[in-house]
Amino acid sequence: MRSDRAQSGKLRTSMTRFFELPSDVVLDLPRLTLVGGVELELENHRGLVRCETDLIVIAFRGGEMDVRGDDLRVVRLDRDVLVLGGRVTSVEIRDDRGDEQ
Amino acid sequence: MIGLRDLWGGYLRIGVSGPQPERLVNLIWIKRLNLWDLQAEEDGLSFCISVSDLKVVRRLQRQSGCQISILEKHGARFPRQKLVRKRTPIIAALIFLISVYVVTGFVWTVELDGGGGLPRNVLLDAISEMGIFPGAWKGSVDLQRVERGLLIRFSQLAWAGIRVEGTRVIVQLVERVQIPDEMVPTGDLVADADGIIDKIMVFRGQAMVEPGDTVTSGQVLVARAEHEGAQAVVQARVWYEAYAEASRVREDRLLTGRVEDAWMMVLGDRVVHLGGPESPPYTTWEEDRTSWVLGRGRKSPLPVEFIKLRYYEIYTRREVLGVDRAREEALRQAREQVLSRVMPEARVIDLVSQVVHETENVVGVRVLVEVAREIGQHRPAEQSEGG
């Protein structure tokens, strides 16, 4: 079952690349915008995993994102967009397989 | 983010505690509710939601197993709610204000000021008939109509004024002044001084002079009509003359500064000298007497009086004034003399002064003042007939 989903994902990725379609739309991948280390906007998120002043963990399709910094807080949380405020020092992305980027 | 809707409808800061407060946040997110300003707290999380979403959040909270508490309330909704809660006192205050307005809208008292010659109750009855009485609605009172009505009904009145002060209506009345028959002029108008007529304005009678005429005192200016006395305004130029002298030697009595005190006691008719000079110690002096009666203020004061006499030494300073100063002094005196004779309503047209007498010791000045004034004087009818 898991391998079926993985195969379907690979196929969609290949098709997207072949037709040069925007992957965040077609594959529902997160789009991250960082404004000068004081504001982070994440589209296509899947909710909040952890929220502390120095670490916020956000879920997205296929992985999680660790945002580290000081005085971190969620400025806005709606269906598609999550906006973080505070001083962002690092962003770490982990996929479901545990690979880090 | 706070929108206008949230500001108006109100929003809350919710505190979430429990094993996994993020679970509640995700449930809220799944329900597509708005959530903002989420931050970590010591015992969990806190975030803001609209007041309208609170019910759903409470349901989700039970589902999530977290505890929530309302930390802060914001927006216009809460002052509004307070006002609604305080509705009773506000309504009471409004009722009070309306009652005061209604009660003060009526006339409580009617006061009469003046009109002393007319019976008070007759006046009040008349005013009441015209709509002003205790208990009348102020808005329905036509003050001007009542004023006119009073003047028409009571011919003795010269003026009526009505004003409203709060719940009081004050009616001011002025009675017509009846001139006694003896005051009504019956004879001719004659000149009370010599002069030249300036203006003449005849109300009754026949003018006997015209502007530019020279008249003498007692001359008829306006002759009376057949049954009525003459009435007119006759203005003429009249001259007044005065003479005054000023001495060129002026003597001033001045204090030398030397003072002596003498003390005396009066016992009945006897005077006992207590101290100081027995007679004035200076050749020229002025004295100041102060006395104390023992027991003053009592029904029968004691017949003992203490007297203090203070003698001030005086010397005389002679000063010979210059001719100009003496002339000024004489002129001042002459002018005062003449102006004291001129009536206050007269208008001074010209003032001429002339030095008529000047010696080593004395300067004499004559002043001639020309004034414009009313010179008409009523003469009783009997004298007019006789004259």
Q: How far is A96 from chain B (nearest CA, A)?
A: 19
Q: Are B314 and B282 in contact (CB under 8 A)?
A: yes
- Which of B16, B17, B22, B47 to mutate against chain A (most A CBs within 10 Å)? B22
Q: pLDDT digit string (tens) for B51-98?
A: 989 999 999 988 888 899 999 988 887 777 777 777 888 889 999 999
Written as six digits, the tokens of B349 are: 């047209």
Q: pLDDT digit string (tens) for B116-152?
A: 778 888 888 999 998 899 998 888 888 899 999 988 9
Cα B88 vs. chain centroid, distance in angstroms?
Answer: 47
- Which of A73, A75, A82, A83 to mutate against chain B (most B CBs within 10 Å)? A73
Percent of chain B with pLDDT over 90: 29
Q: Is residue A93 within 8 angstroms of chain B, CB to CB?
A: no
| ipTM computed for the complex | 0.77
**Model-level pTM?**
0.38
Reported confidence tier of residue B16, pLDDT bands at 50, 70, 90: very high
Side chain identity at residue B78, one-letter code: F
Q: How far is B80 from chain A (nearest CA, A)?
A: 27
Q: How far apart are CA B209 and CA B207, in angstroms?
A: 6
SS3 sequence, chain A? CHHHHHHHHHHHHHHHHHHCCCHHHHCCCCEEEEECCCEEEEECEEEEEEECCCEEEEEECCEEEEEEEEEEEEEEECCCEEEEEEEEEEEEEEECCCCEC
Q: How far apart are CA B331 and CA B337, in angstroms?
A: 10
Q: What is the sign, positive or negative, of the torsion defined by CA atoms of B192, B193, B199, B205?
A: positive
Contact: A49, B30; criterion CB under 8 Å: no
User: Which positions ≥6 away from B184 have C-beta within 8 Å?
Assistant: B229
Q: Is residue A70 within 8 angstroms of chain B, CB to CB?
A: no
Report which of residues A71 and A14 the model is more confident about.
A71
User: Which positions ≥6 away from B233 have C-beta within 8 Å?
Assistant: B199, B200, B201, B203, B374, B376
Residues 21-50 of A with CB under 8 A from B: 47-50
